[in-house]
Chain A
Amino acid sequence: MHDEILLDVKNLSKSFILSRSLGDVINGRHPQVDAVNDINFTLKRGETIGVVGESGCGKTTLGRMLLKLIEPTSGSIDFGGEDISTLDRTDELAFRRRAQLVFQNPFDALNPHFTIRRSIYEPLVNTQVPEEQHDQLVADALVRVQMDRMLHLLDSYPHQLSGGQLQRVVLARALVLKPDFIVADEPVSMLDVSVRAGILNVLREVRDTMGLAAVFISHDLALVRYVCERTITMYMGSVVEDGPTKDVINRPLHPYTRALVQAVPVPNVIQSHEPLALTGNLPDARNPPPGCRFSDRCPLAEDICRQSRPPLRTVEQNRRVACFKVPEMTAGTA
């Protein structure tokens, strides 16, 4: 149903310049970390895409660039056909209305001096939505996050609410402007398992009913699977795999994705205790290994992997992977 491309990310990169130590100055080095490295993907209207990877793989940096919260070093992001880096003030305001962020930690994301009511109304005021629409929009948002039965909480302050309730408020605040696009950065990682399910259900319903495009950032594939149709795996700033969530989880192509799938524990006593097909720790981002960045931890690595970087190529319909060891077009299995 959704074919129109909402977000088009081209060759997106972000490097952070680190402070130079005395040794760096003497040796003329300019240390930097390539947090996001030449990422390309498109997001269709109404599509939800999960971005998974270890901490430090650049997924949060990516999410923030998509919302124009940090400027990319190079590359472009087109949102609804317009390059977001060249928006003027009025267009930027319109963009802010259409693209919203859901924070990771609901305990920090709300102003403790504001009532819940004020926090939810705030985006409407900030983006100059006509005042007569406010009440209706807020009421709609509260229904979406299933807080319409908890209206008495509106005049409370954040410290009086539980984590699950706070995260609903954070979601309501992001949805109140009826955005076309949200970035949810680990939206449930701070919550108890029992309330996590409630938030995930809200996200799923919002996806189905609002036709919202979303980027859902998480390290846990089980969560991504629950809300996203498509999944991107990131490793050290680059996309290593991209495909429909179902395929990525059931038949991961990249050895790193395979390790991620394997690492998710299940609430079941009968589970595989075979060792992770992955060794060592995340390499130092200032000196990434040459060739494939995963080569020093990869059980399949060969000489070619250590010499050149595998490009992200299409191997099956809708599936891309950056690995030399994946055969061209895994014949007809798609």
Chain B
Amino acid sequence: MLLSVKDLKIQYKTRTGIVHAVDGISFDVPEGKVVGIVGESGCGKTTAVRSLLRVMPPVASYAGGEIKFDGSDILKLSEREMNDLRWRDIAYIPQSAMNALDPVWRVGNQIIEVLTKRGGMKKAAAKLRAEELFAMVGLEKKRLRDYPHQFSGGMRQRASIALALALSPRLAIADEPVTALDVIIQRQVLDTFSRLQREFGLSVVLVTHDISVVAYVCDYVVVMYAGKIVEKGPVKDVLTSPSHAYTIGLYNAFPELSADEERELSPIEGGPPLLLNPPEGCRFRERCPFAQEICKQEPVEVQVGPEHFSLCHRAHEAAEMREQARDPAVWRGVVTA
């Protein structure tokens, strides 16, 4: 296992109290696989993946758990050892490619700088490597001489992928890499990830709120809700038989091109709970049309398939829930605030 996260907890200390942004999550990233993390804004996805690199705001702290990368616990490394690991072994691809590149430097020089300063390469070799990287992400090498503003949004995103992969990391962490892009460019960027995975055995942790993106590129998916993992497993299993009410809800809220014309979308009413004082029991309870008395108790993870887990008291009734959830009326009026 390339990356293994166990019972990771992260807290934010705020004036009003402690926010449990990530509350005991465990997941694995196998070598050469793409793992998607999905969830609404504010569910802790970004906090979780940034913690993998140990880049967090000063108010955040680790409150337990371990992160094992290739066998060694990241949380026990010294800052110096950690710095060696960053970029070289674990790279970060930010959401907003607009801000990831320095506007006053030619894109090529930004890549060459990394290769010479961090990679210890000679300038000439670095130049060749930069051309190779551009080819890898599908950009022409003559564009290395351009400034970021001369690139379109998708090209900038691909340039920032090239920059992140400059030192041939084994794991890339991409935080909403396609959210700001339109469908055609999104498709091109996602195809770039698939190709890098296939040809170079790159492992990727991909954060997104869009399950269709997960369906397109990921091998495994982790569904987060309010700081916890509510469902995880191989993409095929989770999407064909979602076994947590939240995942089922996400699926029904999604407009599909091929779906029945008149099918009405069902929004999940309300919003995620504040993590300052998370509700007892299942955190999705208040928005869940299937909530019962038992849901006031803390749910435990149940195995519903070979590698497929769900944090739902009613996971064993998932087939029925899926059936009922198709009726938009089920989702209406659940939240009565």
On whether the beta carbons of A249 and B257 are closer than 8 Å, the reply is yes
On whether the beta carbons of A220 and B183 are closer than 8 Å, the reply is yes
At the interface, yes or no: B188 with Cβ under 8 Å from chain A?
A: yes
Nearest-CB residue, chain B, relative to A186: B182
At the interface, yes or no: A27 with Cβ under 8 Å from chain B?
A: no
* Best-buried of A194, A249, A260 by chain B (most CB within 10 Å): A194
**In the complex, which residues of chain B have a beta carbon less than 8 angstroms from the beta carbon of A70?**
none
* A282-B152 contact, Cβ under 8 Å, with A54-B182, A276-B184: yes
CA–CA, A223 and B212, complex, Å: 13
Q: Which of A117-125, A263-271, A304-312 contacts B (4 or more CB under 8 A)?
A: A263-271
Question: Among the listed A194, A222, A266, A273, which residue makes an inter-chain contact with B253, where contact means beta carbons less than 8 Å apart?
Answer: A194
Q: Label chain B's interface by main secondary structure.
A: helix
At the interface, yes or no: B205 with Cβ under 8 Å from chain A?
A: no
CA–CA, A200 and B252, complex, Å: 13
**In the complex, which residues of chain B have a beta carbon less than 8 angstroms from the beta carbon of A55?**
152-153, 181-182, 185
Contact string against B for A residues 163-206, beta-carbon threshold 8 Å, 1 for contact and 0 otherwise:
11000000000000000000000000000111111101100000
Chain A residue total in the interface (Cβ 8 A): 44
**In the complex, which residues of chain B have a beta carbon less than 8 angstroms from the beta carbon of A259?**
184
* A222-B267 contact, Cβ under 8 Å, with A267-B211, A267-B212: no
Question: Among the listed B152, B210, B258, which residue makes an inter-chain contact with A193, where contact means beta carbons less than 8 Å apart?
Answer: B210
On whether the beta carbons of A266 and B184 are closer than 8 Å, the reply is no
**In the complex, which residues of chain B have a beta carbon less than 8 angstroms from the beta carbon of A149?**
337
Shortest beta-carbon distance from B179 to chain A in Å: 9
At the interface, yes or no: A31 with Cβ under 8 Å from chain B?
A: no
On whether the beta carbons of B257 and A196 are closer than 8 Å, the reply is no
Q: Which of B1-9, B104-112, B234-242 contacts A (4 or more CB under 8 A)?
A: B234-242
**In the complex, which residues of chain B have a beta carbon less than 8 angstroms from the beta carbon of A96?**
none
Question: Among the listed A164, A226, A246, A282, which residue makes an inter-chain contact with B265, where contact means beta carbons less than 8 Å apart?
Answer: A226
* Chain A interfacial positions (CB closer than 8 Å to B): 54-56, 149-150, 162-164, 192-198, 200-201, 219-223, 225-226, 246, 249, 259-269, 271, 273, 275-276, 278, 281-282
**In the complex, which residues of chain A have a beta carbon less than 8 angstroms from the beta carbon of B214?**
267
At the interface, yes or no: B82 with Cβ under 8 Å from chain A?
A: no
Nearest-CB residue, chain B, relative to A221: B257
CA–CA, A174 and B261, complex, Å: 27
**In the complex, which residues of chain B have a beta carbon less than 8 angstroms from the beta carbon of A273?**
194, 216
On whether the beta carbons of B183 and A260 are closer than 8 Å, the reply is yes
* A281-B267 contact, Cβ under 8 Å, with A196-B253, A200-B255, A265-B213: no
On whether the beta carbons of B265 and A200 are closer than 8 Å, the reply is yes
Offer 8 A-B interface pairs, CB within 8 angstroms, sorted by A. A200-B265, A221-B183, A221-B257, A222-B256, A226-B265, A264-B257, A267-B239, A267-B256
Q: Shortest 10 CB-CB distances between A and B: which pairs? A: A198-B267, A197-B265, A219-B182, A265-B212, A197-B267, A197-B253, A194-B268, A263-B183, A263-B187, A222-B255
CA–CA, A64 and B142, complex, Å: 36
